[in-house]
Structure 1
C-alpha cells in the first residue's frame, strides 16, 4: 500500500517539493493558506487538498511543511486546526521552513508531548533546486526519526545530512546564509569594479571563474547581474528575514558577524529602491544607485 504523507505550504519551494513526493507514488495530502494554490497542485499532481493543516495531516505517516517564518510555522502546527492535532502517535513532522532554532526546539517539545517525531530540516538550493529535485537538506533531530524520514526527503534532495539534535538544522542554515551574503556582496563589488575599470566583465568572469574566485553565485548569477535582471530567484525580503534570524542568534551565542550585519544593511537599501522582491544578487543594483545613500 502507498504511504500517506502530507505537505503544508505550497509556495515556490513547497509546490515542486510536494510534487516529487507524488511522483514517487506516495499518497500526498496538501494544505495551503490560499486554497486555489492547493487546488492547482492537485490538478497537476493528483493527491488531495484539505481545508486545514489538521485535516491534511490526519492519517499521514509523515507531514512536511515549508512556510514563511516562525509565526507561520506555529500557526500551521499548533492549536485545534494545526497539523499536530491531526497527527497520530508515531507520525513524523519534517519542517523545511527557514526559521529560528528556538521555534524548532519549542515545536519539538510540543510534538513529543503528542508522541510525534520532529525534524527541523531547512533547505538550500533555491527555487531551481526545488524544481529539479536537488536540494541540500540540513537536519536536526534524533537519529531514529531521521532514519525513518530520510528516504522520503531524498525524493526532492541530492544531499540530506543529520547535523545534531533539534535546532542543528536551522543553525546550519544560518551558516549557509552568512556565506551567501558575503559571496554575493563580493561578486557585486567585483562586477562593479570591472565595469568601472572599463573591462569586459563577461570576459573577466570567463577567466576568473576557472580559478579560486569561482562560486555558485558567479556561475549562476553573473549574466543576469550584468543585464540588470533581478525578477527571479531568492527575494531580498526573504534574505533579510533569514539574516535577522542569524543576527539574533549571534547576539545569543556571542559570534561576531560584522560583514553579515553590513550586508543586511545593504539589503535594506535595495528594499528602499523598490527591490524587496528582487533576487539577492541585486546588491549590484545598490552599488549602481549608491549616491542615493550618501
Structure 2
C-alpha cells in the first residue's frame, strides 16, 4: 500500500520503519529534514519536503507529532496533508492530543472526502521499536478495518472504541492510570528505603502478587538505581495530563489524584527533570 508518515520522533521513526519493512511504499516527512534523510538511509522509502508532498497519492496518511497545534500545522495548515490527500484516502492520527481536535479533524477530513481515525498509542519507545504498541481508536468501523492490518506492522493490539474522539479519551484514561500507579510505586520504594529494606528483593516478591504492574516490572529497578535518562519524558506526561484535566473540567469528572500527581511532576521539572522518565517521581521523595 502507498502510505505516508508525518513525524519521525522517538515513536514515529520506528513505526514508519515497520511499515516500510512490511512491504508498504512509505513517504516520510519530518520538520527536521536531516531526521527524514537518516530514516531513508536506514529503511529506504522516500522523503518529502512538506506534509502535502508526503500525502500526495497516499492510501493512508499517518501522523505522529507533538501536540494539538503541531497536528493542525501538518494536517490543515499551509502545505498540510489535506491539501493533497486524494478522495478516498484515510488519515490516522497517532498523536496524543485532545478529543476536541479529533472531532475537528474528522470534519475537516470529511470535507475533503478523506476518512479519519484518532488513534493514540501506548507502549513507549520500546513498544514502537519492537512493534508492540497498543492502539486506541476512534472513528468509523470501515476506516478502522482498512487501517488495522496496516497498523499491525507496529501494534500488538488495536481496538475501535467508538466515535471520533474515543481514542483520545481512552488515552487520557491510560495516562490517568499510569500517573497514579507510578506515584504509588515511588512512595512504596521511598518507604522501603527509609525502612532499610532490600527494595529489589521486595519488588521481586510483590511483583508476583496483586501489586504487579508494567511500571513495577519495567521501572522499579531503574528507580532503585536512580536511573531516569530514558523513557517517556516528564514534559510529555504533563502535556498529556493537562489534556486529561481539561477534558475533566469539560465533562464534570473529578480527577483529584491526577491533579496532585501533575503537580508532583511540576516539582520534578523544577529540579531539572523535564526530560527524565516519568518514574522520576521518586526523586522528589528521596531528595535526589
TM-score of Structure 1 vs Structure 2, range by shorter chain:
over 0.9
| Aligned counterparts of 1:242 and 1:149: Cα–Cα separation in 2 | 24
**What are the within-5 Å matches in structure 2 for residues 268-287 of structure 1?**
268-287=266-285
Give the structure 1 partner of residue 236 of structure 2: 238
- How far apart are 1:23 and its partner, in Å? 0.4
- How far apart are 1:86 and its partner, in Å? 1.3
| Aligned counterparts of 1:204 and 1:145: Cα–Cα separation in 2 | 47
Give the structure 2 partner of residue 117 of structure 1: 115
| Aligned counterparts of 1:61 and 1:215: Cα–Cα separation in 2 | 38
Give the structure 2 partner of residue 75 of structure 1: 73
| Aligned counterparts of 1:121 and 1:166: Cα–Cα separation in 2 | 10
- How far apart are 1:161 and its partner, in Å? 0.1
What is the DSSP-based 3-state SS (H/G/I as helix, E as strand, rest coil) of the residue aligned with 2:161?
Answer: strand
Task: Calculate the aligned-residue CA RMSD, in Å.
Answer: 0.7
- How far apart are 1:79 and its partner, in Å? 3.1
TM-score normalised by the chain length of structure 2: 0.99
What is the DSSP-based 3-state SS (H/G/I as helix, E as strand, rest coil) of the residue aligned with 2:4?
Answer: strand
Q: Stretches of 4+ moved more than 2 A in 1?
A: none
**What are the within-5 Å matches in structure 2 for residues 108-187 of structure 1?**
108-187=106-185
Q: 1:123-148 CA distances to partner (integer Å, 9 max, x unpaired)?
A: 00000000000000000000111111
What is the DSSP-based 3-state SS (H/G/I as helix, E as strand, rest coil) of the residue aligned with 2:136?
Answer: strand
What is the DSSP-based 3-state SS (H/G/I as helix, E as strand, rest coil) of the residue aligned with 1:276?
Answer: coil
| Aligned counterparts of 2:228 and 2:157: Cα–Cα separation in 1 | 28
Gaps of 5+ in 2: none
Match of 1:29 among 27, 30, 47: 27
**What are the within-5 Å matches in structure 2 for residues 68-107 of structure 1?**
68-107=66-105
What is the DSSP-based 3-state SS (H/G/I as helix, E as strand, rest coil) of the residue aligned with 1:164?
Answer: coil
Q: 1:111-131 CA distances to partner (integer Å, 9 max, x unpaired)?
A: 000000000000000000000
| Aligned counterparts of 1:202 and 1:176: Cα–Cα separation in 2 | 27
| Aligned counterparts of 1:289 and 1:70: Cα–Cα separation in 2 | 35
